[in-house]
Amino acid sequence: MQTAKGDLVGALKTFNDSLAIVDRLAKTDPSNAEWQHDLSVSYNKVGNTKRGQGDLAGALKAYNESLAILDSLARSDPTNAEWQRDLSVANQQVGDVQLAEGDLAGALKTYNDGLAIFDRLAKSDPDNAVWQHDLSVTYNKVGDTRRAQGDLAGALKDYNESLAIRDRLAKSDPSNAERQRDRAVSFDNVGDVQSAQGDLAGALKSHSDSLAIFDSLAKSDPSNVEWQTDRAVSFYKVGDVESAQGNLAGALKDYNDSLAIFDNLAKSDPSNVEWQRDLSLSLNSIGDVQRAQGDLAGALKAYNDGHAIIDHLAKSDSSNTGWQRDLSLSYDRIGNVQRAQGDLAGALKSYQDSLAISDRLAKSDPANAGWQSDLSTSYQRFGDVQSAQGDLAGALKAYNGSLAIFDRLAKSDPSNADWQRNLTLSYQRVGDVQSAQGDLAAALKSFSDSLRIADRLAKLDPSNAIWQRDLSVSYSRIATTLDRRGDKAGALDALRKGRDVVVGLTRRSPENDDWKRELDWFDGEIARLGG
């Protein structure tokens, strides 16, 4: 009850008191398997609460204690399916924290350990719906990690494995609402990857399939708040894809539908902090669309309304790092609008507030790669404003600070495509400032470093439209720099290579106006240089 109401401090005290009692019992008779199992459950509850507070290090410690006990129990009796299942669940929980901390390699290994157990259990009894469901959940978690690493093809395969299981389970019992819900969640996971790959038509179909299920469930029982929440999230995802497709009016309608649901939920229980947070995120999404529509005043109002909610949450529990991070991102959005309005001083102040939070979080846990990435992004935004203000030296310093972080992250896990891409974009920003300063030799080196990474990513997954575009942008930057240096032949060579990339994009998505505009730019530059 305490956790449901958001009283995590009280819940942690209760669970720690329980843990102390169970720990004493377990120590009096280490051979008592039931007490050992109870001890693992107590550690698990402590871990859940610490995770809810944003104390990832504390949660990981508790989960690992639980995992060690369950591993010992499972080894003592490999035929005990219940202990094997509990061990796999414990692996999932450890993996969840590793994923949240940015330890993607560790999370993938832990999830795969759990997957191996669930796969054995599921194969040993194909009619056991619980184990089949467990297997589908684990495939989702492996997919989540691969997606975070940038391995979109691998993630899509895992999500489709999960969807296939859930589809079979749902068809075997059409009246089972939970199985229908699981199927909808899988459609959303597939859609998320399709969207990231640039397959917006596929993503819209997947998310629409999910929305149809959630809409049916929610209407069948309006009092079921979980299904209402699912429906709101589903509207949100459809809106994201429509926004990416340029259908801003459609996206705004979906976001408003989502907002209406979250607003009702939040008003029905003001003490439910998760619904308050969801309401804040919905306001942010509406602000995103209004900003894209050019309604900057409307966007700023939506962002400020969302900011007021998350600021209240963050102040109510300064130890909750998740809310602190949300607050940082809220300052970023406000800064983005202020910058678009030409209020560079206001934007710089907002970005400074965001940077201060990101810096505190990053320093509180240097091993948390996610927070290090946030800090790097904060430096980028700060540098963007300084560049717009004409403070090129300050911008270069900020961009180099961002570059140094992404360089460390990329080297720590070369398989993480997202970090590799962020490093590419960091080199581009540094090169842009160097170019503006007239240091063309340094700019050419930065753009060449960016091209090297972008080319590698583009070859890794030729179907990824975003990575292909990054490659074309790198070629355009190099071409412009070579042209300024008087190397007409080199500039033309880079322009032709960039054009080839964009031609591939337009062939795959002939309806995409952005690709058409970029192709026109390449054609114009080639013609200007007499190519």
Q: What does the buried/exposed string (b/e) look like for 404-442 if buried means 16 or more CB atoms within 10 Å of the residue's CB?
A: ebbbebbeebeebbbbbbbbbbbbbbbbbbbbeeeebeb
Q: Say how many C-beta atoms besides its own lie within 10 A of residue 17's C-beta.
A: 11
What is the arithmetic mean of pLDDT over 457-475? Answer: 94
Question: Which tokens in the block code for residue 4?
Answer: 């449901």
Residue 316: the pLDDT is 93
Kindly tell me if the per-residue pLDDT of 2 is higher than 80.
no
| Residue labelled with tokens 């539908």 | 257
DSSP string, 167-201: HHHHHH-TT-HHHHHHHHHHHHHHHHHHHHTT-HH
Kindly tell me if the per-residue pLDDT of 1 is higher than 50.
no
Residues 6+ apart with CB under 8 A from 110: 91, 92, 94, 95, 98
Q: Determine the Cα–Cα distance for residues 507 and 194; give it in Å rounded to an integer.
A: 18
Contact 498, 476 (CB under 8 A): yes
Residue 11: the pLDDT is 85
Considering the entire predicted model, what is its pTM? 0.67
- The amino acid present at 290, given as its one-letter code, is Q
What is the pLDDT confidence band of residue 6, given thresholds at 50, 70 and 90? low
Q: Determine the Cα–Cα distance for residues 310 and 331; give it in Å rounded to an integer.
A: 10
What is the arithmetic mean of pLDDT over 44-72? Answer: 92
Which three-class secondary structure state does DSSP give residue 367? coil
Residue of 244, 240, 314 lying closest to 282 (CA atoms): 240
Q: Determine the Cα–Cα distance for residues 440 and 406; give it in Å rounded to an integer.
A: 23
- Long-range (24+ apart) CB contacts under 8 A made by 398-404 are 399/426, 399/429, 399/430, 399/433, 400/430, 401/376, 402/376, 402/377, 402/426, 402/429, 403/376, 403/427, 403/429, 403/430
Q: For residue 495, how far is the Cα from the chain centroid?
A: 33
Q: Say how many C-beta atoms besides its own lie within 10 A of residue 1's C-beta.
A: 8
What is the arithmetic mean of pLDDT over 184-210? Answer: 95
Domain boundaries, the chain: 438-531
What is the arithmetic mean of pLDDT over 442-461? Answer: 96
Counting residues of the chain whose pLDDT is more than 70, the rounded percentage is 99
Rg (CA), the chain: 25
* Structure confidence by residue, pLDDT tens digits, 146-177: 998 889 999 999 999 999 999 999 999 999 99
Residue 9: the pLDDT is 83
Kindly tell me if the per-residue pLDDT of 211 is higher than 50.
yes
Question: Which tokens in the block code for residue 105?
Answer: 């390699």
- The amino acid present at 417, given as its one-letter code, is A
Residues 6+ apart with CB under 8 A from 125: 131
Rounded to the nearest 5 percent, the helix, strand and coil shares of the chain are: 85, 0, 15
Q: Determine the Cα–Cα distance for residues 427 and 383; give it in Å rounded to an integer.
A: 13
What is the SS3 string spanning 61-114? Answer: HHHHHHHHHHHHHHHHCCCCHHHHHHHHHHHHHHHHHHHHHCCHHHHHHHHHHH
The yes or no reply on domain 438-531 and CATH 1.20.58.80 is yes
* Structure confidence by residue, pLDDT tens digits, 329-361: 999 999 999 999 999 999 999 999 999 999 999
Residue 3: the pLDDT is 53
Residue 474: the pLDDT is 97
